[in-house]
Amino acid sequence: MKKITIFTFCLLIIIGAFSNISSANDKKVGIFYDERFLLHDTGPNHPENPERLIPVIRDLKNNDQITSNTVWPNFEVATAEELSLAHSKEYIELVDRQVSQLNNNRALLSTGDTPISKDSNLVAKLAVGAGLEAVDQIMAGNLSSAFALVRPPGHHASSSIGMGFCVYNNVAVVARYLQKEYGLERILIVDFDVHHGNGTQDIFYEDNSVFYFSVHQHPLFPGTGRPNEIGKGLGKGYTLNVELPKESGNNEVVKAFNLKLRPAMNKFRPEFVLVSAGFDAHLGDPLGQLNYTDEGYGVVAEILQDISQKYADGRTLYMLEGGYNADNVSQSVQKILNVLISTNIDN
Ligand SMILES: [Zn+2]
């Protein structure tokens, strides 16, 4: 009798172990992309153009390891109500008005250096919508993590100023949405684009529920992101900027993540990790000179997975920001996706 009981007990443990493995593998990584992202027309010779994304998507679809471990869900445009989580009503109306007046022409948004064409409003709302659907699916437990390959980028857009090729601040709307829909109290936004995300910093500057961490080249556009910009009021200590001189390379960015971000997160304990994933700090990018390589982005992704697994149950969403050499973006995105996928397999 005793022997049978021990045998049954062992059998249950073995069955339990296998069912755990299969449930971890059931969760896939999401890739959020829509061909309509290519409709945002910025004009000839603009670095933020549709050709940035075409090779990235082609390479992902040709990579068996990635296609067999990812899903590509559909999503809708963000509504005005959702956009208003991080943007003023006046600004949303301004974008609606200025894009609808264009007909077949192009112009710059009146608030800054963001080109717009007739489909730009649709595409910008779709970029936000990609992030919203991604976090819905992650929070529902359908996906372990996700990468949204969107245009236009978002991190230079503040509540009422579109600039630096950005219309809506994709990650900022998503962070506010996570708070409103799911009651999350601590969200981390990591920004490794070569440029400082002045818009994101501005939106959360007096807020202690969203921690903004940026590593960027200095001096460079937009000129913000000095180390003494640490937040204000309740938000004091919840903005962390690391400036790097040009040609810093992988070692310096990895050092910033290990020595600055890790200890800060051991205190903050984020419940969700959002990443403003720009690849214009990659060696050979026409707009940045920090000279990271694919391997550097891979190490950064491993550190972020470590933080996310520890505190946020692995819930991580990357959203594309800059990156103006498509081959570099493609290789680096694959590197990061491999890290996200291997976390699933290892667990
Ligand atoms: Zn950038």
Domain map of the chain by residue range? 29-346
Please state, in angstroms and rounded to a whole number, the distance separating the CA atoms of residues 284 and 281. 8
Q: Measured in angstroms, how far is the CA atom of residue 288 from the centroid of ligand 1?
A: 8
State residue 347's pLDDT score: 67
CA proximity to 138, closest of 147, 150, 128: 147
State residue 345's pLDDT score: 79
| DSSP 8-state secondary structure symbol assigned to residue 119 | T
pLDDT tens digits, residue range 182-208? 999 999 999 999 999 999 999 999 999
pLDDT tens digits, residue range 272-316? 999 999 999 999 999 999 999 999 999 999 999 999 999 999 999
pLDDT tens digits, residue range 123-156? 999 999 999 999 999 999 999 999 999 999 999 9
Q: Measured in angstroms, how far is the CA atom of residue 155 from the centroid of ligand 1?
A: 8
Q: Report the interhelical angle of 54-61 vs 326-346 (nearest 10°).
A: 40
Pair 200, 276: CB distance under 8 Å: yes
3 pLDDT above the threshold of 60:
no
Q: Any catalytic annotation for residue 156?
A: yes
Amino acid at 216: H
State residue 227's pLDDT score: 98
State residue 344's pLDDT score: 82
State residue 336's pLDDT score: 98
Give the active site residue among 156, 195, 216, 282. 156
pLDDT tens digits, residue range 75-100? 999 999 999 999 999 999 999 999 99
CA proximity to 85, closest of 195, 196, 210, 190: 210
Q: Measured in angstroms, how far is the CA atom of residue 124 from the centroid of ligand 1?
A: 17
State residue 114's pLDDT score: 98
More confident residue, 50 or 10: 50
Q: Measured in angstroms, how far is the CA atom of residue 156 from the centroid of ligand 1?
A: 9
Q: Measured in angstroms, how far is the CA atom of residue 163 from the centroid of ligand 1?
A: 12
Domain boundaries 29-346, corresponding CATH code? 3.40.800.20
23 pLDDT above the threshold of 60:
no
State residue 346's pLDDT score: 75
